[in-house]
Structure 1
């Protein structure tokens, strides 16, 4: 999703001192955006099977959807980490007012427009009333995916001040800061399992993701060598395995897909943090290798990836409307057929969403919303 700017400059800085402001290498970001966007579409296509709406707990269809979903849930944390990695580098020539003016065009307008669009769509599709619409907007969840806009908007509000922290804090201190904020967010989600405890609003949606935002800067400016690739692979494998087995154990113990299983899918459950960090490191390694490959074929792939990356933010915004419209028209079978239906809906949603966004980006006024 192109809701941030890509700085240019030399290789990542690995110094352990304050004022570490060198621009990190970012020529891998386009591939990571495209992969994360594809993961988002697949997660939303398979989630009704995982929650047992269209598949029985423990069936082959459920296991297939559960493994795919577990292996792709890193998508939103990776988007947040990429934004932090790109935006937290201190910039002497950009004060808070300048930063906010730039960000409003990129996130403020889409937030307002798509909040209204999805609330109107839910009114037309499901009869959402005025009170329900107000509650959804106040909670920062006018649709199942638009919370991300509220998360990013909140993080942007703090970015000019976080840049000062980054400029004058050692890397060791920043690792502690990121770890503590991730830990607080994880504890908040854990306590929310207790009935009647927790809950967020449009103004606080971003707080649990602050640790990921800081972590993005630290990871993006770390050594991208072979050791990072090995660590990424180990963390991703361990994290996904933890999600798969942990959610299954919780669901089996409860006899249904419930709160305990959902917690394993939360963005700040321990295995999800591991999987997300691992995915970030793996995507960076893959993207850097792709960028280093020469020849016409690699150049052509790079151009396609660049185009898709430019469409990814818009695809994120429209894909839920496209996916649910396709489901409304085609229906969703139960059992084993539901798995193949989800595959088809994911592919169709991606193609239709890309086409819709490509057209919208060519239309004055509409292009500022995607």
Structure 2
């Protein structure tokens, strides 16, 4: 997800040894990374849209079964790939074996993820204590669960994956691609099963230390797809998976909510990042974004060059936008409210997403120009 990861993968014609490459063999050139900026920006936009539309999906602002509700549910379902794609991008760029000791890796990653994790956990908990009256004991509970805010669980996922990255690099360097596919598939299957078992009353619950475990499969899968074939066949496969997974999530979650008479745990599971429908959509989105980005980079058209330059610029502050946008969104909703029914609620959510993105970008650009604040975005 981060600019530093891209530089590590692409510095001066870097090469990557494929899984199972014999010692002494000539390593294969590292795959092109020109598409990563586009993928990161698209995923960031999807995150903002999900948070803008989720109150409509969970019926806070819409009536179940209404046109606005079904529209919001379909839009939300079509964007559920965003967080898995972020995880897969990190795996794609960090798991290739390289000459870097574990202490060196941890030192670099702590500067990039550890400081923001601590600072923004404290900031969001303090903000919620002021905004909603969250108690100190409630704040401790949220931090211990790895969810101090609705989006900060991602920092705990990435931090946990970073802890095991040196080991996973060894695995990637020694295992065959077939073995890695089995490993990624089994890890995702266990993640999906873990989430499903959580539907049973009294079962489940995660902590800050274990948030990352269900996402190891996505992490390794990102490396496998990154080093996989490109072209029309992966694009067609990606489109099929993206459409089928998104449709299955929308129909499945909507139908379960209708049967239950409300948006409940069953519908939430279908929208979970580890449900089978979302796993399929995430794989599809990764393949589609990779092919789209590669084609843009290879195109000589002015519009393609403009899109590539814009994505390259927006990718820089995307991490900061992820961190601040929830505070901006909730503050705007508190100030201006939101239409409760009808098509206006759908349009209002889109408007909020656009404004939140612009304000968040502005805030991040300001923070990046302040010496000490720069470290947290």
**TM-score bracket for this pair, using the shorter chain length:** over 0.9
**Could you say which residue in structure 1 is the equivalent of 2:33?**
26
- Counterpart secondary structure, 2:317: helix
Cα deviation digits, residues 178-225 of structure 1 (max 9, x gap) = 011111111100000001101110000000111000000000000012
- 1:319 lines up with 2:321 in the alignment: no
Distance 2:84 2:44 in 1: 12
Q: 1:167 aligns with which of 166, 173, 193?
A: 173
Distance 1:85 1:109 in 2: 23
**Could you say which residue in structure 1 is the equivalent of 2:206?**
200
Distance 1:285 1:34 in 2: 15
Q: 1:173 to 1:130 in 2, by over 3 A?
A: same
Q: 1:97 aligns with which of 93, 97, 103?
A: 103
> Structure 1 unaligned runs (5+)?
none
- 1:335 lines up with 2:341 in the alignment: yes
Distance 1:199 1:252 in 2: 26
Q: 1:144 to 1:15 in 2, by over 3 A?
A: closer
Q: 1:271 aligns with which of 258, 261, 277?
A: 277
Q: 1:284 to 1:73 in 2, by over 3 A?
A: same
Distance 1:358 1:309 in 2: 12
Instruction: Work out whether residues 50 and 66 of structure 1, in 8 Å CA contact, stay in contact via their aligned partners in 2.
Output: yes
Q: CA deviation at 1:303?
A: 2.0
- 1:69 lines up with 2:92 in the alignment: no
Runs of 4+ in 1 over 6 A off after TM superposition: 10-16
**Could you say which residue in structure 1 is the equivalent of 2:197?**
191
Please tell me the root mean square deviation across aligned C-alpha atoms, in Å.
1.6
**Could you say which residue in structure 2 is the equivalent of 1:361?**
368
Instruction: Work out whether residues 20 and 173 of structure 2, in 8 Å CA contact, stay in contact via their aligned partners in 1.
Output: no
Distance 1:253 1:44 in 2: 25
Q: 1:324 to 1:33 in 2, by over 3 A?
A: same
Provide TM-score, normalisation by structure 2. 0.95
- Counterpart secondary structure, 2:200: coil
Distance 2:60 2:68 in 1: 12
Cα deviation digits, residues 299-339 of structure 1 (max 9, x gap) = 33322211100010000000000000000010012111221
Distance 2:347 2:202 in 1: 38
**Could you say which residue in structure 2 is the equivalent of 1:138?**
144
Distance 1:168 1:140 in 2: 32
**Could you say which residue in structure 2 is the equivalent of 1:80?**
87
**Could you say which residue in structure 1 is the equivalent of 2:2?**
2
Provide TM-score, normalisation by structure 1. 0.96
Distance 1:174 1:95 in 2: 23
Distance 2:77 2:38 in 1: 21
Instruction: Work out whether residues 10 and 25 of structure 1, in 8 Å CA contact, stay in contact via their aligned partners in 2.
Output: no
Cα deviation digits, residues 64-108 of structure 1 (max 9, x gap) = 11111000010000000000000000002x110000000011100
